């Protein structure tokens, strides 16, 4: 099946810093989503981005489908950004299922 | 709030027991997905239903089963529970069949003692 690798596995930032999270995938995809899992376990949709660039406030994402990677940018980080960030992809298999990476655990300290 | 609801939020039970997790998709969504998040396996896809019919199966154990009802809500049944079944179970929904956002519910946290 498709492989999804996220880096870095862990990241510690001071409040106000910027960061870039990366997601590499091993095959072409129909769907790519970024999620934030907060400390209470809730999975929050950040972006649906199988290709191109999107921005939402301090967050933006870019997917280069031909090179099989996606980047999530967090600017001016806040303590509430802490949690685990997951990339998930739906391969061109004909089935609508998401394969998740192992996530990047982000801790933003005040 | 994603619009996907799951009940119960927490469930504590004993080995060998059977439990049922319930999911109501977002209004108008025809697809329901179940995912399991455990410490050792991470987040993995279990099963997908579209408009009442099973569409895809992932790493779902034979002790687990699911269905989607005519009103589009779904239930995941877990039987002969083992300690290793302790996990966070998510339901997600989407409007149709792929190439679209899947919206996740808050999850049901299952603890098997």
Q: Tokens 């982000």, residue?
A: A106
What whole-number distance in Å separates Cα of residue A59 and Cα of residue A72? 7
| Contact flag A97-B44 (C-beta cutoff 8 Å) | no
Higher confidence at residue B40 or residue A72?
A: A72
Amino acid A15: pLDDT: 97
B33 to chain A, any CB pair closer than 8 A? The answer is: yes
Task: Please report where in the chains the tokens 């579209």 appear, as a residue.
Answer: B50
Nearest to A42 among B48, B101, B106 (CB): B106
Chain center to CA of B97: 17
Q: Which of A93, A46, A43 is nearest to A70 (CA)?
A: A46
Structure tokens of B16? 């060998």
Residue of B58, B90, B104 with shortest CB distance to A97? B58
- Does B88 reach chain A within 8 Å, measured CB to CB? yes
Do B112 and B14 form a contact (C-beta atoms < 8 A)?
Answer: yes
The Cα A69–Cα B112 span in angstroms is 38
- What confidence tens digit (pLDDT) does each residue in A9-42 have? 999 999 999 999 999 999 998 889 999 999 889 9
Say how far apart CA B32 and CA B40 lie, in whole Å: 24
């Amino acid at each position: 099946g498709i492989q999804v690798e996220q880096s870095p596995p862990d990241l510690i930032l001071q409040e106000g810093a910027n960061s870039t999270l990366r997601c590499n995938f091993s095959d072409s995809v129909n769907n790519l989503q970024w999620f934030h899992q907060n400390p209470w376990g809730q999975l929050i949709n950040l972006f649906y981005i199988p290709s191109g660039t999107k921005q939402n406030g301090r967050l933006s994402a870019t997917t280069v489908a031909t090179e099989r990677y996606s980047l999530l940018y967090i600017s001016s980080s806040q303590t509430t950004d802490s949690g685990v960030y997951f990339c998930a992809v739906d391969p061109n298999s004909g089935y609508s299922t998401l394969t998740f990476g192992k996530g990047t655990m982000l801790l933003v300290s005040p | 709030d994603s619009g996907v609801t799951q009940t119960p939020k927490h469930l504590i039970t004993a080995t060998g027991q059977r439990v049922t997790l319930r999911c109501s998709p977002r209004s108008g969504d025809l697809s329901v997905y179940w995912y399991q998040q455990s410490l050792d396996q991470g987040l993995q896809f279990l099963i997908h239903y579209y408009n009442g019919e099973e569409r895809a199966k992932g790493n779902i154990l034979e002790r687990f089963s699911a269905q989607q009802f005519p009103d589009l809500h779904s239930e995941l049944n877990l039987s002969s529970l083992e300690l290793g079944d302790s996990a966070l179970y998510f339901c997600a929904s989407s409007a149709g069949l792929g190439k679209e956002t899947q919206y996740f519910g808050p999850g049901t946290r299952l603890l098997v003692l």
